[in-house]
A and B are shown apart, each in its own frame.
Chain A
Amino acid sequence: MIDVSWGEQVVFYILAPIAVIGALGMVMARNAVHSALWLVLTMLSLGVFYIVQAGPFIGMVQIIVYTGAIMMLFLFVLMLVGRDASDSVIETLRGQKVAAIALGVGLGVLLGTGLYRGTVDLTPVGLAEANKNGNVQGLASLIFTKYVWAFEVTSALLISAAVGAMILAHVERRKDERIGQAAMMKERFLPGNYPGPKPGPGVYATSNSVATPAKLPDGNPAQRSISPILPLRELEPAEKADKHTLTGGHQS
Chain B
Amino acid sequence: MNPTLADFGHDNGWIVALKVVGVFVFLVVMTLFTIWYERKVVARMQVRPGPNRHGPFGLLQSLADGLKLAFKEDIMPLKADRVVFFLAPVISTVCAFTAFAIIPFGPFVSIFGQKTPLQLTDIPVAVLLVLACSGLGIYGIVLSGWASGSTYPLLGGLRSSAQMISYEVAMGLSIVAVFMMAGTMSTSEIVNAQAKGGQGELFGFEFTYPGWYVLLLLPSFVIYAISAVGETNRAPFDLPEAESELVGGFHTEYSSLKFALFFLAEYINMVTVSALATTLFLGGWRAPWPITQLGPWVNQGWWPLLWFTIKLLILLFVFVWLRGTLPRLRYDQFMRFGWKVLIPASLIWILALAGFKTMNNENLPGWQRGLWIGGFAVILLAILLWPRKRPAPKLPLEEEVAQRPEGSFPLPPIDLQVPVSPRAKRITADREPVQ
Q: List chain A positions with a Cβ less than 8 A from chain B.
A: 31, 33-34, 37, 40, 44, 47, 56-57, 59-61, 63-64, 67-68, 71, 74-75, 78, 83, 134-136, 181, 189-192, 195
Contacts and interface: CB of A to CB of B under 8 A. Distances in A.
A169 to B, nearest CB: 13
Nearest to A34: B84
Given A33-B146, A64-B131, A71-B138, A56 B161 contact: no
Contacts of B407: 191-192
User: Which residue of B123, B124, B125 has the most chain A CB atoms within 10 A of its CB atom?
Assistant: B125
A57 B139 contact: no
Nearest to B157: A78
A56 B139 contact: no
B214 interface: no
B132 A40 contact: no
Interface residues of B, number: 29
Contact of A68 (B143, B165, B405): B165
Nearest to B186: A134
Contacts of A83: 146, 149, 154
B136 interface: yes
Contact of A64 (B123, B132, B154, B409): B132
Given A71-B161, A83-B154, A60 B132 contact: yes
Contacts of A136: 124-125, 185
Given A63-B132, A67-B135, A67-B138, 13 more contacts: A33-B84, A33-B146, A57-B128, A64-B131, A67-B136, A67-B139, A68-B165, A71-B161, A71-B165, A83-B154, A134-B184, A191-B408, A191-B409
Contacts of B430: none
A78 B409 contact: no
Q: What 6 A-B pairs are tightest by C-beta distance, nearest first?
A: A191-B407, A60-B128, A67-B135, A63-B132, A189-B409, A56-B125
A77 B50 CA distance: 45
Interface string B118-145: 0000011100110110011011001100
Nearest to B132: A63
User: Which residue of A37, A59, A192 has the most chain B CB atoms within 10 A of its CB atom?
Assistant: A37
Contacts of B30: none
Nearest to B168: A68
A135 B146 contact: no
Given A57-B128, A67-B139, A191-B406, A78 B185 contact: no
A31 B146 CA distance: 12
B405 A63 contact: no
Interface in B149-198: 149, 154, 158, 161, 165, 184-185
